[in-house]
Structure 1
Amino acid sequence: MFGREKKNTPAAPAAARTVTLIGKPGCHLCDDARAVVEAVCAETGARWEEKDITQDEELHRAYWEQIPVVLVDGEQHTFWRVDAGRLRRELGG
């Protein structure tokens, strides 16, 4: 199998999960993604953080062509557009 295998372990409660939004200033898609992430995390109790791709060379190399990027517990969940329902399901909400 290519890539990482998903482990068959129960998902952590939403409150124990961390959502990371990777974006840059002045990005309208990032603004849209932030609104969705904020709302879903408020509903589910998940913690969220935001990282500026222009301030981190490693993030810039990894994600520049995909921003905004959303990670859940360090694993890429989506990029460009964030679907609230899909994020909510990922968080178990």
Structure 2
Amino acid sequence: MSGAVPPRVTLYSRPGCHLCDDARLVIERVCAELGESYVEVDIDEDDSLPARFQDEIPVTFVDGRQHDFWRVDAARLRAALR
């Protein structure tokens, strides 16, 4: 059994999305500060995701629950990860 801890943050995004680029920078910074990791999922790589997230990307999940969409607030993300 692996001792790796799964990422607590998931960023659903798509290529060419400027809001996704902004969200990624905030998530990278906050996760680095707190020693957390994140995973990014391209919604165009899964047939079920565009219909679910089309109008909300980027969408951020923390611990499996939707946290934010469109913009990521660093203070709010930091609080959710503490």
Report the TM-score when normalising by structure 1: 0.78
What CA distance in whole angstroms lies between the structure 2 residues aligned with 1:48 and 1:16?
A: 8
Structure 2 regions of 5+ residues with no counterpart? none
In structure 1, the residue matched to 2:65 is 75
Structure 1 regions of 5+ residues with no counterpart? 1-14
Q: Which has the larger radius of gyration?
A: 1
The two structures, once aligned, show a CA RMSD in angstroms of 1.4
Matched, 1:55 2:45: yes
Alignment of 1:80-91 (within 5 A): 80-91=70-81
Indicate the SS of the match to 1:66.
coil
- Kindly state the Cα deviation for residue 61 of structure 1 after the two structures are TM-superposed: 1.7
Count of residues in Structure 1 that have an aligned counterpart in Structure 2: 78
Structure 1 stretches of 4+ with a deviation exceeding 2 A read none
Check whether the contact 2:7–2:39 (CA below 8 A) recurs between aligned residues: no
- The alignment-based identity, stated in percent, is 55
